[in-house]
Structure 1
Amino acid sequence: MRGATAGVQKKIQDVYPNAHYIHCYAHQLNLIMQQATSHITKVRIFFSNLSGFSSFFSRSSKRTSVLDKVVAHRLPASSNVRWNFHSRAINTVFEHREDLIRCFESIQDSGDFDPITIREAGAFAMLLEDQDFKFFLQLFHHIMPHVDLLYAKLQKKVIDSVCIQESIQQFQQDIQKIRNSLHSMVGQSSVGSSQPVKKRRTLSVEDHERIAAEVCDIILGHTRERFSFTNHLVSATLLQGDRFEQYNTAFPEDALSNTLKAYPVLNRGKLKTELTLIYSKEEFKACCGAVGLLQLFMENNLEEVFSETVTLLKILITTPMTTAEAERCFSTLKRIKTFLRNSMTQDRLNALAMLSMEKRLVTEMTDFNKNVIEKFAGQKERRAKFMFK
């Protein structure tokens, strides 16, 4: 797809030279986190150990029953394709670490499990007490919420390049704050050790701070590299509401030149006149993103007055920043229609796929489960008596 010499990108640009290729930004974020967690040995080991918790319990319903009884919370599985799965696993282990230790100890002491299970439970209990594991758990407990927030913004259907630039800049600022506060974070993780540090740690405090700084630097470096803006995205800076006051003082000639290189169809003189007027008006400064600015023009019948700006806004809005949603549809179908469920009808497959893809929408509907049960129970007479019937 992205091949610059013989890929689909090249074939399209041979016919339409002004077409712009944009790598899916949600996928780019996943690649950034993979780079940050795979190049450092200790961090790679941490995530390998983290994924072992969910697999330990998923292999046995007997183990899961102990988990439900002691911890009362399931451990989500990790996924390299969607990093919010890692975030859920990190948050769960971080918040229930003491409960998980008691769970593994109860498995060891119960006498109802085989030697392999007892040995693995003991290893996981020791891992949760390990100072290196606890430090990396705390580090990524601080980092992952910012990754989740950016990932959620990149998945919005109404996202545009203006909002993306603001979101990425905020993400970089948040990671930089974590980078600057590493010394205090490392100091907190070393408090509470009753034994000397060297006996409790495989890494020193300085090593922890160095590795954490390297993780943050990799994230920041790859964010700047992978989210480098083309002329298409640079043109979005012309319409960032938080910069209108700055542009009213000094007009962004460079951004305008890059915009005209990307879209020669635009009239330079008319576009500059329209933008100068937009930058000077207070009512335009409150608009959030290209969508909000275009809606303001439409509501007040200003399309003809700002014709060149409206053309640029429509280009920015209709260019997709992310394509992960379409890929997740195929992943959903692969999970639903398995070898054991290969005989389901097309209507049932469509319904199950829609419920899975639009899970967030379903959870926000009031009394959804109750309405489904009542509809199912009222379809026809059955031998079983339904309590909602």
Structure 2
Amino acid sequence: MERMRLEFDSYYLRFEQKCGALGLTDGTDRHSARDERRHLFCNILDNISDQMKARFGHFDELAFLGLVDCAKFYEMSQHFDDTKLQSLSKYAKFFDFVRLKANLIGLYSSKTVRDECKSPGQLLNFLAEKDLVVTVPEATKLLQLVLTVPATTASVERSFSALKRLKTYSRNRTDQGRLSSLAVISIETERLLKLKEDKEDFYRKVTDVFVQKERRMDFIYT
């Protein structure tokens, strides 16, 4: 992106040639227009470059994701990468690093794990099915962390999109807890419909839980 700043002249030449071929001339002073477009071109590239640095400049903090890259378990069984373990320092209070390293080396060395588990999700399910969660508790916590770290901002963007539809003028006094619950229902509509389909009494159970909550209103239904 930064190199493109130096290539403005070649881009602009192609732009002028295309405009000439299409008859798109506006009669403005060519030199002033060129300078104005150069300024705009550079501003756009600078903005994109700054945004990329802001979004991707902290990926080293996520190096610990490589600790559960199932495709590299055999390689890591031969050489453990301590730098990836150190990137977990942000979550240090939740882990015993010595025990975590021992847990991971044990998993890396297991041929059964390498053959059957192709992703962190599969590995976590494997540990649960084989009752190994207690055996490798630190590795289990790491897998849970990896599976809950958002890979993109899509879920956040979906939340804001849902919020626009939910927090209307008529609901302006809706408290934060209810608004959050409405957002979850809106975002997870597909899952909600599947729960209704799989469990015929799902809505009745939800209603029972709602009625049991302490409130000033009395609900009577049959």
Looking at both structures, which has the greater relative contact order when contacts are Cα pairs under 8 Å and sequence separation is at least 6? 1
Q: Which has the higher helix share?
A: 2
Rg (Cα) greater in structure: 2
